[in-house]
Structure 1
Amino acid sequence: MAVEQVDTVVVGAGQAGIAMSEHLGKHGISHLVLERSRIAERWRSERWDSLVANGPAWHDRFPGLTFSGDPEVFVGKEGVADYFVAYAEMIDAPVRCGVEVKSVERLSGRAGFRVETSDGVIEARHVVAATGAFQTPIIPKLIPDDAGLMQIHSSAYRNPEQLPDGAVLVVGAGSSGTQIADELRHAGRRVYLSVGPHGRPPRAYRGRDFVWWLGVLGKWDLQSQPGLEHVTIAVSGARGGETIDFRRLAGEGMTLVGRTQTFANGRLTFADDLSDNIRAGDANYLALLDEADAYVERNGLDLPEEPEARRIAADPACMTDPILELDIAEAGIASVIWATGFSADYSWLKVDTFDARGNPLHQRGVSREPGIYFLGLPWQSRRGSSFIWGVWHDAKFLADQIAIQHSYMQYHRAASGQSKPAEPALQD
C-alpha cells in the first residue's frame, strides 16, 4: 500500500490547528489537520459547564468570522467550540477527526517526517504541533490519595453537584480557580481559596473592557520577560463579566489563604503570603488604571471618569489574621480542586528540539529541528499568543515561514534543472 504524502501535517484541531489550516490554505500548501477527537474538543469536554470566554465576542475570535448576536457578550464554551467547527467548514479545512498521532520521526536520507497515526502512516515535509501547552493537568503530589478527600484538577470539574457534601479547597486563584471557587460559593458551599501571585486587571474601566485597554496600551504585544510569563491573570467573564476582587469575595463568605505548602496528619499549612499576593494584585490593577487615564488624556477621548474604580475595600479578617494551618476534618473539607495549570506532552514528537524539562526550543514557534513548528504556546511571540486572536496571527507567521521554505526549494529545483509541479508564489 502506498504511503500517503502531504506537504504539512498539523497535529490538533483546536483554535491553533484551525488557524494554521486557514493560512496554509491561503498559501496553497497541501496539508492535513489530524485530531484525535472532535474539533475544539477541550472546550467541550475539559472545561466546567458554566465556563464562558474571558474576552467579549467582538475580541475573542478570528478576523474572518464574527459571533452571532451581541458582540459584548462572553460566549459560553459550547458556543466557542461551535464557532471553530463553523470556521473549519467556512475555510474548508482538511480536518480528520478520530485520528491520533502516535509518533513523528525524521525520514532517513531524505527530507520530511514519518507521521505514524492510528489510521496509518503519512509522510510530510513539515509538521506543526498545534496541541498547545494545556495538555497534561498538573496536580502537585502534596495530599496523599488515602487522605479521605476527593481530589480533581480544574479541567475535570464540571459543576457543584459533582462534589461530595462539605467544604471545598480550591488551590490556585487565576481565572479558572477563582471562577470555580465563586461558583461553588454561590451554590452554598463553604469555600477556601488558596491565592498565589497574580495579575488582577479590571474587567472594564471607563466604558471599555480590559482587552481593549491592553490592546491600545500595547500590552498584548509585550515580549516574554523572566518570571512574568508564569504569573496568572485573575479575570472573569462570568455573570456578564466583573472585576475579580478578592476582598469582596472574602466579604461574601469565601475564606482566603496563602499558597498551599504542606499536608501531614490531616493538616494543611499555608504560606504567610496572602496579603502580599493580594496587594501585588492591587498594584497591578491600579497601574493599569493609571495608564488608561493617561491614554484618555493624551488622546482626548470622551470616556467618562470612574473614580469609584480606585476604591480598595478594607482588608478582611483572613488577610489581617491569616490562616496558616488548617485541620481538614474540623474545617469540613471534603474535596480539593487543583487549579494549578498544565504541562505539555510532546513524547510523540521524536526530534531534537526540547530542553531538559521537555519544553520546546523555538523562536516564535520555529523549532531548531528544521521542518518542525509549534503553535498555541503561551508567550510564543508575545503576551497575546495563547488567546484566540493571538494564535491566529502566530499561525500566519508560521505559514509564511513554510511558504518561504517552498520558495527556496522552487529555486533549487529550477537551478538543478529538475521538473517540478506548480507551487504557490510566496505571499507577503
Structure 2
Amino acid sequence: MNDLKQHAARTAGITETDTLVVGAGQAGVAMSEHLSKLGVPHLVLERKRIAERWRSERWDSLVANGPAWHDRFPGLEFDDLDPDAFASKERIADYFEAYARQFNAPIRTGVEVLKVERNVGRPGFRVETSDGVIEARRVVAATGPFQRPLIPAIAPADARLTQLHSVEYRNPQQLPEGAVLVVGAGSSGVQIADELNRAGRKVYLSVGPHDRPPRSYRNRDFVWWLGVLGLWDMETVQPGKEHVTIAVSGARGGNTIDFRELAQQGITLVGLTKAFADGVASFQPDLADNLAAGDENYRSLLDAADAYIARNGLDLPEEPEARRTFPEPECVRQPILDLDLAEAGVTTVIWATGFAVDFGWLPESALDACGKPSHQRGVSSEPGVYFLGLPWLSRRGSTFIWGVWHDARHIADHIATQRKYGDYLDATQREAEAPAQNATRQGAR
C-alpha cells in the first residue's frame, strides 16, 4: 500500500482541518475572525460554551475593568450600553456569542482537547479530543491565562476554615457567617473585599505589591491615558514588576481604588500573607511600603497625564482632588503581623492569588523547562503551534479584549504566510512528479 493510501486508511472517519483553535473565549473568537478573513480553513473547539469563564467562573457582580467603548472588538459595539459604562459579565459573554455569529465562526462546543501530538513523517498534528481525533496542520492554544486556580502552599489544612479561590466565589450569601480574610489585592481581591464589607462582613485584606491607577483623571478613563501615553504598547514588563497586580475596578460605575479609603470604610488592611500556623495567620511587615509604591504608581500616571495635556494644549478640566490623600489608618500605623483567626472570628479565607497555565496537552517541545509557553509574539518554538491570550504576549495590553484581537491578527498573518510557503512546496512537488506520472501512463498504453 503506498503512502497516500496508508494515510487515507489511518484518517478514515477523522476530521481534518488546516488550523485548529483550542478555546472559544475572547482569544478564540478573535482568532477565528482573522482566519476567516484570510480564507484559512479552521475549526474552533470549546470544552463548554462560548466565553464560558465569563459566565460560570466569576462572581455574580463582576463587570469589565474597562468601559464599553474600549473593552470590545472593532467589529461590534455594545449598542445597549453607554460607551462609558462597564458591561456585566453576562453581557460580555453574550457579546462574544453575537460576535461569533457575525461571521459564522466554525465553533464546536462541548468538546475538550485531550492531547496534541506531532505527526511522524508528514506535516501537522494528531489531536485527541473528547469527540474523536482531528488532524490539523496547525494548532492555536487560545485558552488564555486563567487555567488553573493558584492557591499557595501556605494555605492551612484547617477544617474549621472555609477556603476557596476567587474563581469559586459568587456572592456574600455563599459564605458561612463570620469574618473573611481576602488574600490578594489585585482587581479580584479588592472588588471581593469591598463587596463583602458593604454586605456587613468584617474583612481583612492582605495587600501585596500592586499598581494603582486612577479609574479616571481629568475626564478621561485610565484606559484612554494608557493608550495616548503609549503604555499599552510596552513590549516588556519592567524589572521587579513581574508579579505586581493591578488594583482597578469598574464596579458601581467605576471608582479609583484607594486602600486607605477602604480602611476608613471598615476593611482592615494587612501586609503580604506569610504563613499559617496553629490557627494564626502571619503577615509581612510591608503594608506601608506596598501602599507607598502603589501611591507612587498612581501619582506617576497623574504627572504623565498633566504633561500630555500641557504638551498638546488640551482643554480638559483640572482635578486637584485627585491628589488628595486619606490619612493613614490605624491598621497601617500599627500593622497587624499576627492574626489569631478564631479570636478575630475569621471563618473564611478567599485566595485571590491568580492562576497558573496548564499546557500539558501540548507537545513538550512547545514549552520551556517550567512548562510555560516558549514563543515569540505567540509563535511557538515548535513549528505549527501558536499561543494567544497570554499576559505580555506582544505588549502590556495583550490580555485585554482589544489587545487579544490585535495579537490574533498577527498570528493569523503568520499562519497565512506559512500556508503560502506550503502551497509553493506542494506545487513544486507536483511539477517534479508530473514527468514520471506521464511516462507511466505512456508505458501503460
Category of TM-score, reference length = shorter chain: over 0.9
- Structure 1 position 357, deviation (Å): 1.6
SS of residue paired to 1:170: strand
Write out per-residue CA displacement over residues 343-389 of structure 1, whole angstroms, 9 at most, x where no aligned residue. 01111112402122211110000000000000000000000000000
In structure 1, the residue matched to 2:348 is 335
d(CA) in 2 for partners of 1:173, 1:418: 63
d(CA) in 2 for partners of 1:262, 1:416: 64
Contact 2:58-2:167 at 8 Å conserved across structures:
yes
In structure 2, the residue matched to 1:195 is 207
In structure 1, the residue matched to 2:19 is 8
Write out per-residue CA displacement over residues 244-265 of structure 1, whole angstroms, 9 at most, x where no aligned residue. 0000000111000000001111
Q: Of the candidates 80, 103, 114, which is equivalent to residue 115 of structure 2?
A: 103
Distance 1:418 1:22, change over 3 A: farther
Is 1:41 aligned to residue 57 of structure 2?
Answer: no
- Structure 1 position 418, deviation (Å): 4.7
Q: Of the candidates 229, 234, 237, which is equivalent to residue 247 of structure 2?
A: 234
Contact 1:147-1:266 at 8 Å conserved across structures:
no
In structure 2, the residue matched to 1:27 is 38
Write out per-residue CA displacement over residues 309-366 of structure 1, whole angstroms, 9 at most, x where no aligned residue. 0111111111110000010011000000000000011111124021222111100000
In structure 2, the residue matched to 1:301 is 314
Please give the residue correspondences for 1:339-358 in structure 2 after superposition, counting only pairs within 5 Å.
339-358=352-371
d(CA) in 2 for partners of 1:71, 1:78: 17
- Structure 1 position 229, deviation (Å): 3.6
d(CA) in 1 for partners of 2:296, 2:250: 22
Is 1:55 aligned to residue 49 of structure 2?
Answer: no
Write out per-residue CA displacement over residues 264-303 of structure 1, whole angstroms, 9 at most, x where no aligned residue. 1111100000000000000000000000000000001110
Q: Of the candidates 167, 172, 176, which is equivalent to residue 155 of structure 1?
A: 167
d(CA) in 2 for partners of 1:21, 1:338: 34
Q: Of the candidates 132, 136, 159, which is equivalent to residue 144 of structure 2?
A: 132
Segments of 5+ residues of structure 2 without an aligned counterpart are: 1-11, 433-445
Q: Of the candidates 79, 97, 116, which is equivalent to residue 91 of structure 2?
A: 79
d(CA) in 1 for partners of 2:343, 2:370: 39
What is the letter of the counterpart of residue 343 of structure 2?
Answer: E
What is the letter of the counterpart of residue 143 of structure 1?
Answer: A
Is 1:280 aligned to residue 293 of structure 2?
Answer: yes
> More displaced, 100-109 or 345-354?
345-354
What is the letter of the counterpart of residue 145 of structure 1?
Answer: A
Please give the residue correspondences for 1:144-183 in structure 2 after superposition, counting only pairs within 5 Å.
144-183=156-195
Runs of 4+ in 1 over 2 A off after TM superposition: 143-147, 225-230, 413-419
Is 1:114 aligned to residue 137 of structure 2?
Answer: no
Q: Of the candidates 263, 276, 283, which is equivalent to residue 270 of structure 1?
A: 283
In structure 2, the residue matched to 1:289 is 302
In structure 2, the residue matched to 1:425 is none
Distance 1:418 1:185, change over 3 A: farther
Q: Of the candidates 67, 71, 86, which is equivalent to residue 78 of structure 2?
A: 67
Segments of 5+ residues of structure 1 without an aligned counterpart are: 420-428
What is the letter of the counterpart of residue 300 of structure 2?
Answer: A
d(CA) in 1 for partners of 2:243, 2:101: 35
d(CA) in 2 for partners of 1:47, 1:304: 36
Q: Of the candidates 231, 235, 242, which is equivalent to residue 223 of structure 1?
A: 235
What is the letter of the counterpart of residue 20 of structure 2?
Answer: V
d(CA) in 2 for partners of 1:11, 1:42: 14
In structure 2, the residue matched to 1:422 is none
In structure 1, the residue matched to 2:262 is 249
d(CA) in 2 for partners of 1:30, 1:353: 23
Q: Quick check: which has more Rg, 1 or 2?
A: 2
In structure 2, the residue matched to 1:409 is 422
- Structure 1 position 3, deviation (Å): 1.7
d(CA) in 1 for partners of 2:257, 2:379: 36
In structure 1, the residue matched to 2:377 is 364
d(CA) in 1 for partners of 2:96, 2:414: 24
Write out per-residue CA displacement over residues 174-225 of structure 1, whole angstroms, 9 at most, x where no aligned residue. 0000000000000000000000000000000000000000000000000123
